[in-house]
Amino acid sequence: MTKSKTNDIILLVLFSLAVLAGPVILAPFGAGYPDLLQRFAIYGIFAIGFNILFGLTGYLSFGHAAFLGVGSYAAVWSYKLLSMNVIPAVLFAVLAAGLFSLLIGFISLRRSGIYFSILTLAFAQMCYNLAYSVLTPITNGETGLQVTLQDPRIFGPETTGELPVPTLFGLNMNETWEVEWMGWTLQFNAGFYVCAVILILAFWVSMRIFRSPFGMMLRAVKSNQNRMNYIGLNTRPYTLAAFVISGMYAGLAGGLLCATDALAGADRMLWTASGEVVLMTILGGAGTLLGPVLGAGLIKYFENIFSAFNTAELNVVFGFLPDFLRDAAVSLSSLFVGDGWHLTLGVLFMVIVVFLPGGLMEGATRIVRLARGKRAKPGAPGVQPAE
């Protein structure tokens, strides 16, 4: 077994352990509750898929939220017409998003650069507006598509007066087990672990793509597509395949968003949702394996934790200061939390882009190199003296 394969296996094992231990690792940071853990996993899948397109080929799509929305609608229709089982819902979500991305990619990839980005944005906005107007019989317009007691489900369950919830062969996706550990209440949720296992599989598939000849071709497209065209190599099948795979990842994420809450709305297709996945990938490190997952986790943490702070909580945090200093600290901090959490995200994004163009993964690489440099002594075997 080569060293690179060994490193990949180690990376996959460590990643899997970190994801599965999420409720324990994130509990001290106030992020160990099921809803946020599920969003970490789901948007991690979304960002991994987007990174296959943007990170490998350099094609920047501003319309990937359309596939997220299509996947959500397909999953809810599966719940309404077939059964409340998550598996067929997720499969239909991936299939619908794949077919839709094939259509959009076939048209959009006739252009490159900013023109490609504008085309994908235009298609996403068209889908968003169609969901509110012409396609209302399918999407239920502003109300959103949801499960009802009158749905003609082929495989049940029988209606008992309560809305059915998604299940995995009888296991309720909202089922949660609480465990007291070192003063924290750990919550182990069935829906999160379903999403976590799928995240690990999605990460493994992404790793295989990165290491494959297909992945090398996508990197070549990013490096110099014109040169490849000049030598007679048609790059469109490769870029279209990457676009479709990326769209299927987005559809998978959209289907999983309905795994615990069977509701789909057009707001998931909004351009801001497409911009969010771009930020996730760039913050974490475009073209890296772990970067998009880290970026997704960071943004969702800011969105759910920092946005929850209010003036009363800030007064408690700065309660140790004299009154005049406390009031000043609260006034300043309130600009960056609560409704102003986007300002914190903007400052963080600016700092990372300026000082760490490669994202969080570049920062981690620098720290590792610095640590190795400190451990290595000049004159030791295999170590050259510093110049």
Alpha-carbon distance of 61 to 65, in angstroms, equals 10
Alpha-carbon distance of 183 to 51, in angstroms, equals 38
Phi, psi at 214, each rounded to 5° = -60, -45
User: Considering the domain boundaries, does residue 289 fall inside one?
Assistant: no
| Per-residue confidence (pLDDT) for residue 157, from 0 to 100 | 62
| Per-residue confidence (pLDDT) for residue 158, from 0 to 100 | 60
Q: Answer yes or no: is pLDDT of 21 > 60.
A: yes
Tokens 């296996």 correspond to: 9
Report pLDDT digits (tens) over 233-289. 889 999 999 999 999 999 999 999 998 888 898 888 988 889 899 999 999 999 999
| Per-residue confidence (pLDDT) for residue 374, from 0 to 100 | 67
157 cis-preceded (ω within 30 degrees of 0): yes
User: Considering the domain boundaries, does residue 382 fall inside one?
Assistant: no
User: Considering the domain boundaries, does residue 175 fall inside one?
Assistant: yes
Q: How confident is the model at residue 181 (pLDDT cuts 50, 70, 90)?
A: confident
Cα maximum dimension of the chain: 78
Cα angle, residue 27 at apex, residues 25 and 29 outer, rounded to 5°: 95
How many CB atoms are closer than 10 A to CB 361? 21
Alpha-carbon distance of 10 to 106, in angstroms, equals 37
Q: What is the mean pLDDT of the chain?
A: 88
If you write DSSP's letter for every residue of 286-323 in order, what string do you get? TT-SSHHHHHHHHHHHHHHTGGG--HHHHHHHTTTS-H
Q: How confident is the model at residue 368 (pLDDT cuts 50, 70, 90)?
A: confident
Q: Answer yes or no: is pLDDT of 160 > 80.
A: no
User: Considering the domain boundaries, does residue 276 fall inside one?
Assistant: no
Taking the model in full, what pTM does it have? 0.91
Q: Answer yes or no: is pLDDT of 383 > 70.
A: no
Q: Which residues form the domain of 178?
A: 31-269
Report the first-to-last Cα separation within the chain, whole angstroms.
36
Phi, psi at 310, each rounded to 5° = -130, 180
Mean pLDDT across the stretch 201-214?
95
The two tokens of residue 140 are 């239920």
Q: Answer yes or no: is pLDDT of 378 > 60.
A: no
Q: How many domains does the chain have?
A: 1
Q: How confident is the model at residue 376 (pLDDT cuts 50, 70, 90)?
A: low
Alpha-carbon distance of 220 to 212, in angstroms, equals 13
Are 15 and 200 a contacting pair, CB within 8 Å? Answer: yes
Cα angle, residue 359 at apex, residues 355 and 363 outer, rounded to 5°: 70
Which of 214, 269, 280, 256 lies closest to 57, judged by CA?
214
Q: Answer yes or no: is pLDDT of 385 > 60.
A: no
User: Considering the domain boundaries, does residue 168 fall inside one?
Assistant: yes
CA distances to 12, 42, 341 from 72, in Å: 28, 12, 27
Mean pLDDT across the stretch 8-21?
94
Instruction: Give the burial class of 171: count Cβ atoms within 10 A of its Cβ; 0-12 exposed, 13-18 middle, 19 or more buried.
Output: middle
User: Considering the domain boundaries, does residue 26 fall inside one?
Assistant: no
| Per-residue confidence (pLDDT) for residue 128, from 0 to 100 | 92
| Per-residue confidence (pLDDT) for residue 384, from 0 to 100 | 42
| Per-residue confidence (pLDDT) for residue 242, from 0 to 100 | 96
The helix (run of H) or strand (run of E) holding residue 22 is: helix 22-26
Q: Answer yes or no: is pLDDT of 387 > 70.
A: no
The two tokens of residue 346 are 């903007």
User: Considering the domain boundaries, does residue 346 fall inside one?
Assistant: no
Report pLDDT digits (tens) over 282-335. 999 999 999 999 999 999 988 888 777 777 778 887 888 888 888 888 888 888
Q: How confident is the model at residue 380 (pLDDT cuts 50, 70, 90)?
A: very low
Task: Return the higher-pLDDT residue of 2 and 351.
Answer: 351
Task: Return the higher-pLDDT residue of 380 and 276.
Answer: 276
| Per-residue confidence (pLDDT) for residue 150, from 0 to 100 | 84
Report pLDDT digits (tens) over 66-102. 999 999 999 999 999 998 999 999 999 999 999 999 9
If you write DSSP's letter for every residue of 127-184 in order, what string do you get? HHHHHHTTTHHHH-GGG-EE--TT---TT-PPP-SS----EETTEETT-EEEEEETTE
Mean pLDDT across the stretch 32-51?
94
User: Considering the domain boundaries, does residue 327 fall inside one?
Assistant: no
Q: Which of 43-47, 314-318, 357-361, 383-387 has the lowest mean pLDDT?
A: 383-387
